[in-house]
Amino acid sequence: MGMPNQPLSMPFPSLLRGPNVPPMAQNNQMGVLPQPGPFGMNQAVQALNQVMAMQLLGQQNLNFLASLQSGSLFLANNLPQNINQVVGLPNEQVRLQDPTMQGNQISALNFPPSSHPTGSNNPGFVGSPHMSKNNSNTNTSSVKSSVDVKKNTVGQSGKPISGSPMQNHQNGKYMQRSGHWPQVNSVGDGERNVKSENSPSKNFTRNFHGYGKRESSHMRFQKPQLHHSKNANGSGGPFNMPGRRGGGNNRTFFSHCFKNPARCLHVNYTENEIQQWREARRKNFPTRANIEKKLTGSDTSNEDADSDAKLRCQQLKEVLAKQAELGVEVAEIPPSYFSELENHPENENGRKALHVTDQFPSKYNNKRGSHGRDKWNAKRPKLKNEASTDSSHTVEKREPTLLQKLLNAEIKRDKIQLLQAFRFMTLNSFFNGLHDKPLEFPEIMVKDAELENEIGLKKNPSLNKNADRAAFVQSHGQCQIFKDSEMMDKVIDIAGHLGRSTGLAVVDCSASSETVNILKQAVGLGCCVVLANKKPLTCGILHLLQEAYEKLISNFRRIRFESTVGAGLPVIASVTRVLASGDPIYCIVGSLSGTLGYVMSEVEAGKLFSKVVQAAKSLGFTEPDPRDDLRGMDVARKVDSLYPDELGPNSMSTEDFLSSGLSSVDRDFQERVRVASSKGKVLRYVCMIEGSRCEVGLQELPKDSPLGRLRGSDNVVEIYSRCYKDSPLVIQGAGAGNDTTAAGVLADIIDLQDLFQ
């Protein structure tokens, strides 16, 4: 078992350097002491997915907070704070409260931390296979590399890589590239101004792929902005993941959460149920006697069988309902199976027969397409009591089950205690071990009328009138719920269990770099962090919030961010695995923006640029401010912008940009598409990483090239390494959208379980 945070001992030539081994590699060799048993939380809370409100890290803004908890599950719905969600990930149950969480995309291209090298002035950028006309395989995965990767050019970070050849699309031979890349000048804020006689404003396309010169008049606003990702100290490249240094994992409180993530649901049967099942089975078992009875028609058990069938039907429905309630995927049952009961709407319990497909969402019957939906619809299904013009988008608001009603008091109590335990842990930096100073106990904001009991409101005889009661609640708005020593002991006990056996993960699906301050605190407390939001990972590169960024990535082992690139596609995981195996990566080429991919293929089909961008926004592909996508900021910092500065964020709001600004770009864009098309080409927003260089821009590519064939929001990433030299490792698929992003985030949360085994 390797030590955590220990650099891999195998030599990693070129791109993988020093301790900056990405998280998967670290996980693989992580040594975490297994800890005893799961946290024994009240069964009711586990079984009923009770919502638990908690406030972690004060009044912070975060989208969800996942609690990775051994053997239990809890979810937060209505946090009083700005933490949008609390997700509980138990051993066997996983539930995303709102899987259509808002997410966009990511770019590892932004990734090198400030301590990483600058690959400026690299004139010899290795060409893409897509540059080649000859390279027109119809199968992306079988693309032959036209990149003649020279090992000695790889990883010469900070130095020009001279003469990296690329294939000449005219003759299929390798073509020497030279000196087309613009110069990168540092500016104060750490971003790079790209200036060159070969500036992309003049000829980005030629620089990139050796294609014909692009007339800048087609995009009069085109900025000379090839992006060179900033690497400050000249060592390493974009494949050097940050962090993985210091702070070996000496914590002993992690235990085996998620021992078996493959299992998703435990169903416990009562003795009675098992007995019933056995009897029914015995009765119907095809013994000789039973068969003869059936054949001779002397079987008098038809009526029994009917009622058994009904009973089983009913039981099945209950199981399905329970599954739906627990958030697990519900089995698809042919509707005809229930038709019998549907003909008899009232069964013996007086309950209405259920339409399976109406009641239980499953991947088969969930027809919620995202096309044409507005942002709100795209994010979550509507509740029935919300105004809706589309009844197909409604879901039932669940009534509490009988069990929930019966256990209501216990559930509430558990919620309160857990809430207090979490607050207590946060207040006392519990993850860092208790210190000598007296323990602090949190104050709880009372929002729930039933909690009044807890704080003595209902027991106070002097508070008869409503006004008095309101005044009491007001004055006790912050209520000390830790009233007695028994309660305090219990909270400390719970916190201890949580500390030893549980991981808490802060999940950031915002689109703000500001969250880095919160994330820093979270990892400081021993929590984990999962990011769909890429900005906290890029703010350091831009020398913004530098200190918080450094602190965040110094706990790299506890951070996951797969969805920041290609949404749910396993891009970072693949890169990580390739590097971890000692296979040096020479070059990555791809189209990494779902929005721009979608925009390009739609304008190609004759639609207006402005309309397509609006559609991409409503489909959930764009960043909250689509200008982040259009200026390439979502793919890398400082690149080929698709709109002029006058439409920038400092000049107008996102709403104005979408409603009026965008349309002023339509004509230029149409013209550009027309010009490309007249040459049998299409426009694609391409990114290329080699060594320490990251370059991003709009390219004219052959229609039948792998990138040219991309449609919709698909991303494609081709990884060229020593092992994947001629035929790259290709990852392709939807690179934006709520579902795929949510899946990526969830996979990251689950991946963190490795830390707790």
Catalytic-residue membership of 638 = yes
In the complex, the smallest distance separating the C-beta of residue 743 from ligand NDP, rounded to whole angstroms, is 10
Give residue 126's identity as a one-letter amino acid code.
Answer: V
Q: Which of residues 627-656 bind ligand LTNE7NMQ (CB under 6 A)?
A: 629, 634
Query: Among 21, 30, 106, 378, which residue sits at the site for ligand LTNE7NMQ (rule: CB under 6 A)?
Result: 106
Task: Please state, in angstroms and rounded to a whole number, the distance separating the CA atoms of residues 233 and 240.
Answer: 13
Comparing CB distances to ligand NDP, the nearer of 122 and 515 is: 515
Asked if 514 touches ligand NDP (CB under 6 A), the answer is: yes
Stretch that binds ligand NDP, among 364-372, 419-427, 504-512, 714-722 (CB under 6 A): 504-512
Asked if 104 touches ligand LTNE7NMQ (CB under 6 A), the answer is: yes
Contact 213, 207 (CB under 8 A): no
Asked if 621 touches ligand LTNE7NMQ (CB under 6 A), the answer is: yes
Using CB under 6 A, count the residues that bind ligand NDP.
29
In the complex, the smallest distance separating the C-beta of residue 568 from ligand LTNE7NMQ, rounded to whole angstroms, is 11
In the complex, the smallest distance separating the C-beta of residue 374 from ligand LTNE7NMQ, rounded to whole angstroms, is 17
Task: Please state, in angstroms and rounded to a whole number, the distance separating the CA atoms of residues 415 and 447.
Answer: 13
Give which of ligand NDP, ligand LTNE7NMQ, none residue 29 binds (C-beta under 5 to 8 Å, depending on kind). Answer: none
Comparing CB distances to ligand NDP, the nearer of 644 and 733 is: 733
Q: Which of residues 574-593 bind ligand LTNE7NMQ (CB under 6 A)?
A: 593
In the complex, the smallest distance separating the C-beta of residue 740 from ligand NDP, rounded to whole angstroms, is 7
Give which of ligand LTNE7NMQ, ligand NDP, none residue 698 binds (C-beta under 5 to 8 Å, depending on kind). Answer: none
Q: Which single residue is written with the structure tokens 């008098």? A: 300
In the complex, the smallest distance separating the C-beta of residue 519 from ligand NDP, rounded to whole angstroms, is 12
Task: Please state, in angstroms and rounded to a whole number, the distance separating the CA atoms of residues 565 and 25.
Answer: 18
Contact 65, 518 (CB under 8 A): no
In the complex, the smallest distance separating the C-beta of residue 188 from ligand NDP, rounded to whole angstroms, is 25
Contacts of 497 (CB under 8 A, 6+ apart): 39, 40
Tokens of 640: 């080929």
C-alpha distance from residue 156 to each of 147, 186, 199, 726 (Å): 17, 20, 23, 21
Give which of ligand NDP, ligand LTNE7NMQ, none residue 61 binds (C-beta under 5 to 8 Å, depending on kind). Answer: ligand NDP
Kind plus residue range of the DSSP H or E element containing 180 = none
Contact 580, 550 (CB under 8 A): no
DSSP code for 329: P
β-pair type (394-395, 382-383): parallel
Query: Among 407, 698, 736, 749, which residue sits at the site for ligand NDP (rule: CB under 6 A)?
Result: 736
Kind plus residue range of the DSSP H or E element containing 175 = strand 174-176
In the complex, the smallest distance separating the C-beta of residue 565 from ligand LTNE7NMQ, rounded to whole angstroms, is 8
β-pair type (503-508, 528-531): parallel
Contact 715, 569 (CB under 8 A): yes
Stretch that binds ligand LTNE7NMQ, among 219-227, 368-376, 441-449, 616-624 (CB under 6 A): 616-624
Q: Which of residues 593-612 bind ligand NDP (CB under 6 A)?
A: 594
Asked if 103 touches ligand NDP (CB under 6 A), the answer is: yes
Task: Please state, in angstroms and rounded to a whole number, the distance separating the CA atoms of residues 659 and 647.
Answer: 12
Using CB under 6 A, count the residues that bind ligand LTNE7NMQ.
13
DSSP code for 346: B
Contact 213, 206 (CB under 8 A): yes
Helices (H), 41-159: 43-48
Query: Among 90, 210, 570, 594, which residue sits at the site for ligand LTNE7NMQ (rule: CB under 6 A)?
Result: 594
Single out the catalytic residue among 352, 638, 679, 703: 638
Task: Please state, in angstroms and rounded to a whole number, the distance separating the CA atoms of residues 582 and 452.
Answer: 61
Task: Please state, in angstroms and rounded to a whole number, the distance separating the CA atoms of residues 673 and 600.
Answer: 9
Give which of ligand LTNE7NMQ, ligand NDP, none residue 595 binds (C-beta under 5 to 8 Å, depending on kind). Answer: ligand LTNE7NMQ
Give which of ligand LTNE7NMQ, ligand NDP, none residue 593 binds (C-beta under 5 to 8 Å, depending on kind). Answer: ligand LTNE7NMQ
User: Which backbone phi and psi does 487 adopt, to 5 degrees?
Assistant: -65, -45
Task: Please state, in angstroms and rounded to a whole number, the distance separating the CA atoms of residues 642 and 632.
Answer: 8
Comparing CB distances to ligand NDP, the nearer of 207 and 515 is: 515
Give residue 464's identity as a one-letter amino acid code.
Answer: N
Q: Which of residues 679-738 bind ligand LTNE7NMQ (CB under 6 A)?
A: 735-736
Q: Which of residues 553-572 bind ligand NDP (CB under 6 A)?
A: 563-564, 567
C-alpha distance from residue 416 to each of 70, 276, 347, 412, 491 (Å): 19, 39, 39, 6, 10
**End-to-end CA, the chain:** 13
Task: Please state, in angstroms and rounded to a whole number, the distance separating the CA atoms of residues 115 and 17.
Answer: 12
DSSP code for 652: S
Asked if 699 touches ligand NDP (CB under 6 A), the answer is: no
Asked if 533 touches ligand NDP (CB under 6 A), the answer is: yes
Stretch that binds ligand LTNE7NMQ, among 72-80, 221-229, 615-623, 673-681 (CB under 6 A): 615-623
Query: Among 454, 562, 623, 718, which residue sits at the site for ligand LTNE7NMQ (rule: CB under 6 A)?
Result: 623
β-pair type (62-68, 83-89): parallel
Asked if 63 touches ligand LTNE7NMQ (CB under 6 A), the answer is: no
Query: Among 100, 105, 114, 231, which residue sits at the site for ligand LTNE7NMQ (rule: CB under 6 A)?
Result: 105
Contact 37, 255 (CB under 8 A): yes
Query: Among 162, 408, 429, 512, which residue sits at the site for ligand NDP (rule: CB under 6 A)?
Result: 512
Helix and strand numbers (H, E) in the chain are 24, 18
Asked if 181 touches ligand NDP (CB under 6 A), the answer is: no
Give which of ligand LTNE7NMQ, ligand NDP, none residue 22 binds (C-beta under 5 to 8 Å, depending on kind). Answer: none
Counting every residue, how long is the chain?
757
In the complex, the smallest distance separating the C-beta of residue 643 from ligand NDP, rounded to whole angstroms, is 18
Stretch that binds ligand NDP, among 91-99, 100-108, 294-302, 549-557 (CB under 6 A): 100-108
Asked if 82 touches ligand NDP (CB under 6 A), the answer is: yes
In the complex, the smallest distance separating the C-beta of residue 551 from ligand NDP, rounded to whole angstroms, is 18
x/- string (CB under 6 A) for ligand NDP, residues 576-595? ------------------x-
Angle at the Cα of 114 from the Cα atoms of 110 and 118, rounded to 5 degrees: 75
Asked if 509 touches ligand NDP (CB under 6 A), the answer is: yes
Tokens of 267: 């169903």
In the complex, the smallest distance separating the C-beta of residue 373 from ligand NDP, rounded to whole angstroms, is 12
CB atoms within 10 A of CB 713: 25
Contact 231, 692 (CB under 8 A): yes
In the complex, the smallest distance separating the C-beta of residue 360 from ligand NDP, rounded to whole angstroms, is 27
Comparing CB distances to ligand NDP, the nearer of 566 and 708 is: 566
Comparing CB distances to ligand NDP, the nearer of 156 and 738 is: 738
In the complex, the smallest distance separating the C-beta of residue 736 from ligand NDP, rounded to whole angstroms, is 4
DSSP 356-385: HHHHS--TTT-----TT--HHHHHSPEETT
Comparing CB distances to ligand NDP, the nearer of 35 and 741 is: 741
Helix, strand or coil for residue 586?
A: strand
In the complex, the smallest distance separating the C-beta of residue 510 from ligand NDP, rounded to whole angstroms, is 3
DSSP 587-643: EEEEE--HHHHHHHHHHHTT--HHHHHHHHHHTT-S-SSTHHHHTTTTTSSS---SS
- The binding site for ligand LTNE7NMQ (CB under 6 A) comprises 104-106, 593-595, 621-623, 629, 634, 735-736
Catalytic machinery residues: 638
